[in-house]
Structure 1
Amino acid sequence: MTTRWRSAAVGAAAVGLVVGPLGAGGGAVYAWDAAAAHAPTATAPAPTPPPKPATTPASDAFPQLTPAVARQLDDAVRKVLAEAKVPGVIVSVSAPGKGEYVRSFGVADKAKGTPMTPNLNMRIGSVTKTFTVTALLELVDDGKVGLDDPIGKYVDGVPNGDRITLRELAGMRSGLFNYSADEDFYKALTSDPDRHFTPQELLGYSFEHPVLFEPNAKFYYCNTNLILLGLVVEKVSGIPLDRFIDREVVEPAGLTHTVFPTGAEFPNPHAQGYTNQTASGKVEESTDWDPSWAWAAGAMISDLSDLRSWAKTLATGTLLTPATQAQRLDVVDALPGTGYGLGIFNVQGWIGHNGSLPGYGSLVLYLPQAQATLVVLLNTDIGYENQEPSTLFGEAITKIVTPGHVYSLPAQPAS
């Protein structure tokens, strides 16, 4: 789901995915597209894949990413780009033996007209949740925490803390109020986007509100849950969350351009971000806003290459024991056509997470049937017709490559 804070400003909050790529075999289609103009495209014939079993429905077949398919994808992405008025987007689609499609469209900087390119660092919003929950699950595998431990064992002062478990926090079933929907929080952030928030301050905004429902009664996407899990990781490991994730998740996963910033630092090169979640309500640059307000729920930065790799690692459980990964992927109904496990979604078969925070959006998905990966990165969070722009791109792309598994993420009803 997203790292939105103010449901009143955007309607119902949307939910999202995270999963990653396999190395694409065979031919490649690779280009970047500046300001929606055709860029040179290199193509090579892909090897003929082995025949699929006769029992495989045609709708589950993943197509060869030929120049003809690439043109369909180009048209679909450009259409969303224009309709939703997205400044720029990076897209990657790949599957073993099918080739790969990598494109960027539009601009990374509206003032300078700098084209979007596939190598840019981007803020990834709630895809951060997949890293935080992976860190927690590694501690589960080490026998240092239990998923059914109450959060009150680790953090004092949590409403229902003696009954809400770590599993319910990771599964978005705690019943706690989402601090990022608090009006005082919204005013504090938008009046001073450079402000540094502590995790305890974020929890304070949540705990001023009564709980919404009893633990495990239903699904409700809530950033408060991840702030608490981040504190658990810190307490049990004895080191700051950013250092633990870097040492125990990012490095073992072989990621080289993924960072958990402790302030507003943003590695170059990066795209400028644009949001209307501002005090004035007008569109402003949010590139250098301090992401501490999202911390364990959405502060991280990455790039296309790393997210393609992370998607596969996340979906296949490389860093976890099979038993723990099975628990992670044991989804329960969250929204129509959508299940949520432990910090991970399953939307019509696509596994992963999306992310949204001021100025940026992300979508990181993996389809096990085809071992296919889809990553979308964009430099705005401004919705279109009450939908996240990343959802619009995901839906348009999957209608072409996986019509039997169309990524369509419904909005979360207000609670």
Structure 2
Amino acid sequence: MRYSHIQWRRAGVGVAAAALLTVPAVTGSAYGAAVPPSPSVSASSDSDFVQLSPAVAAKLDTAIKQVMSEANVPGVMVSLSAPGKGSYVKAFGVADKATGAPMKQDMYMRIGSVTKTFTVTALLELVDQGKVGLDDPIGKYIPGVPNGDRITLRQLAEMRSGLFNYSADEGFVKALLSNPTKPFTPQQLLDYAFKHPVLFQPGKDFLYCNTNLILLGLVVEKAGGMPLDQFIEQKVVKPAGLTHTSFPTNAAFPSPHAQGYTNQTLSGKVEKTTDWDPSWGWAAGAMISDLSDLKSWATTLATGTLLSPKTQAERLKTIPTKIPHGGYGLGIFNIEGWIGHNGSLPGYESLTVYLPEAKATMSLVLNTDILHNGSEPSTLFGRAITKVVSPKHVYDIPAEEPHASSSPSSSPSSG
């Protein structure tokens, strides 16, 4: 079979990579990342983010088109903004390779592991309400979890549980790729994970893992008193003022949307993933949004609008990962000063981040997750863009080593 163990682990998504099957779509952080300053108190500097002038826009156009060409990306949408510096919002390429229909700024996209930021925000709202405690053991809420009496909700959110990532299980990968329109239940996902021994004791290491988010989603349901999709839509999406963001419970995809393309297939050939059922990502990567909402969410997420200052401060405390100049907090990362998350699942990738020093946002979505020289295409765009607009803060996640099986960005992405 063509797919690799590494690539499927990408799907977890977050810190360093942001993929559900690869994640993190997030993968990691720094070797000794410091706790980032709170966005609300960071000093502003004109040198942190450039004026988005016509000349800079031309440089961005060139940089984005170069990445598209080199990485063979069908289409991408990019949004940049900062107070007093202007904005840059553009769509490039095609949404459908068969018809040549252009990518447009108002298209819905699957956002992969950026979903994690919504799930953890829901959890932290319950913390603020006193309904759950970050240092409660997961066993208090969900029975049958290995080390469930010792793994805390905090350790799940910061990827230090030691649990096996279900999206790295060979049986899961085969089941998903054999019938990608089949729905999965949260318990089925946990069953794939719990077949494996724990990888390390709670709190002893960092490993990006989608299993953690499935458990946190179940905690939100139990403590919040309603299904996760309803809680997130009512308590997170709506209060945040997002009008084009949803948590689907099936494969339905609002229009207009782009077709997604992946090579994470049984044949190894590139296939469309538009109608794949995202339930396998659930709390770790099932959500849908658009460029405008992601721009807004970047600020809400990083500044803690929906949370108490105390809880937001807890969220932003980062721990070291394997990414230079990056750290992971509670369902959020800080890479070279950019706070947020990336996402990747077969066919789609996203990046939603905020730079406190300049109050700048950078959001992008694209319709492929096919790696280029070991790198997520979202990382390639993020790096190329930030070299132009924030040279002191260049977003980058190093390419995975061919056999780096422990990387958070190497599974079917839900990152």
Give the TM-score band, short-chain normalised: 0.7 to 0.9
User: Which structure 2 segments of 5+ residues have no match?
Assistant: 18-42, 407-415
Q: Which residue of 2 aligns with 1:241?
A: 228
1:339 aligns with 2:327: yes
Shift of 1:238: 1.6
Indicate yes or no: 2:7 matched with 1:16: no
Give the drift of 1:410: 2.9
RMSD of aligned Cα (Å): 1.7
Pairwise mapping of residues 74-113 of structure 1 onto structure 2 (< 5 A)? 74-113=61-100
Partner of 2:278: 291
CA deviation profile, 1:328-378 (whole Å, cap 9, x unmatched): 001111122110000000000000000000100000010000100000100
Runs of 4+ in 1 over 4 A off after TM superposition: 10-15, 55-58
* 1:360 matched to 2:360: no
- Deviation string, structure 1 residues 77-103 (Cα, Å, up to 9, x no partner): 000000000000001111001110111
Q: Tell me the secondary structure at the aligned position of residue 115 of structure 1.
A: coil
Q: Does 1:227 align with 2:214?
A: yes
Among the aligned pairs, what percent are the same residue? 69
Q: Distance in 2 between matches of 1:180 and 1:6?
A: 12
Instruction: Give the aligned partner of residue 194 of structure 1.
Output: 181
Specify the structure having the higher radius of gyration (Cα).
1
Q: Does residue 123 of structure 2 align to residue 136 of structure 1?
A: yes
Q: What is the CA deviation profile of residues 105-133 of structure 1, one whole-angstrom value per residue up to 9, with x for unaligned ones?
A: 11000000000011100000000000000
Q: Distance in 2 between matches of 1:123 and 1:66?
A: 31
Rounded to whole Å, the distance in 2 between the matches of 1:86 and 1:260 is 26
Q: TM-score, normalised by structure 2?
A: 0.87
Distance 1:164 1:69 in 2: 48
SS where residue 393 of structure 2 aligns? Answer: coil
The one-letter code matched in structure 2 to 1:332 is I
Counterpart contact for 1:275–1:283, Cα < 8 Å: yes
What is the aligned counterpart of 1:311 among 281, 298, 320?
298
In 1, Cα distance between the equivalents of 2:4 and 2:269?
15
Does the aligned pair in 2 maintain the 1:128–1:298 contact within 8 Å?
Answer: yes
Aligned mates of 1:232, 1:308 — CA distance in 2: 28
The 5 A counterparts of 1:174-193 are 174-193=161-180
Q: Judge conservation of contact 2:44–2:357 (CA < 8 Å) in 1.
A: no
Given residue 185 of structure 1, which amino acid in structure 2 is its aligned partner?
A: F
Q: Select the residue among 260, 264, 275 that pairs with 2:262.
A: 275
Residues 165-198 of structure 1: per-residue CA shift (max 9 Å, x gap): 0000000000000000001000000000111000
Within the candidate set 231, 234, 240, 1:253 is matched to 240
Aligned to 1:382: 370
SS in 1 for 2:254: coil
Q: Report the CA distance shift for 1:324/1:56 in structure 2 as closer, same or farther (over 3 A).
A: closer
Q: Distance in 1 between matches of 2:10 and 2:156?
A: 20
CA contact (8 A) 1:11 1:386 kept: no
Q: Which residue of 1 aligns with 2:192?
A: 205
CA displacement at 1:11 relative to structure 2: 7.9
CA shift in 2, pair 1:10/1:146, >3 Å: closer
The 1:180/1:11 distance shift into structure 2, 3 A limit, reads: closer
User: What is the CA-CA distance between 1:12 and the residue it aligns to?
Assistant: 6.7
The secondary structure found in structure 1 opposite 2:321 is: strand
Ranked by relative contact order (alpha carbons within 8 Å, sequence separation 6 or more), the top structure is 2
**Superposed displacement of residue 8, structure 1:** 3.1
User: Structure 1 residue 409 and structure 2 residue 397: aligned?
Assistant: yes
